[in-house]
Amino acid sequence: MKIAVYPGSFDPVTNGHVDVIERASRMFGKVYVAVIRNPEKEAYFALKDRMEMLKQATRHIKNVAVDSFSGLLVDYAKKKGALAIIRGLRVGSDFDYEFQMALTNRKLNPKIETVFFMTDGKYAFLSSSLVKQIAKLRGALTGMVPPNVAKKMKGVV
């Protein structure tokens, strides 16, 4: 079975993330959606909340598992038996950072490839940062995040 890892902070998960997860799930037998535990970055939502929101948002996809990790992504991917790291690209400016990370990961473990998914055009504007800003200003999140995430965000702001 071909296994892939889709890492991210998912703070919060957006419909753009879910789109990439759905598409990756059609190409790989198993997709681990791996929430990064980064002690250097203060998250809007606690790790357990981010994982729960992801589990609810992806429960309709049978070959997806939500997990978390800390440390090097390539070490986590190797532990899971993954042959690929999934990354989403929204706009051209994403590519510079993602290209650098892909080359670094290849240097660390040349057996694991990075596979890029271009976001669906209807989500190209969307980012977790933008969603948080809209939520703080009590704007509507319809179509930007899964319903369970919109409900959770109303309870936090």
| Packing angle of the helix pair 147-156, 47-57 (nearest 10 deg) | 150
**pLDDT value for 156:** 62
Residue keyed to tokens 């902070």: 9
Which residues lie across from 116 on neighbouring strands? 87
Determine contact, residues 117/23, Cβ cutoff 8 Å: yes
Catalytic residues: 17, 41, 90, 128
Question: How does pLDDT run across 64-112, given as a tens digit for each residue?
Answer: 999 999 999 999 999 999 999 999 998 877 899 999 999 999 999 999 9
Domain that holds residue 133: 3-156
DSSP SS3 for 68: strand
Read off the CATH number of the domain in which 140 is found.
3.40.50.620
Determine contact, residues 21/64, Cβ cutoff 8 Å: yes
The two structure tokens encoding residue 98: 């993602």
State the total domains in the chain: 1
DSSP SS3 for 105: helix
**pLDDT value for 41:** 76
The pTM of this model reads: 0.94
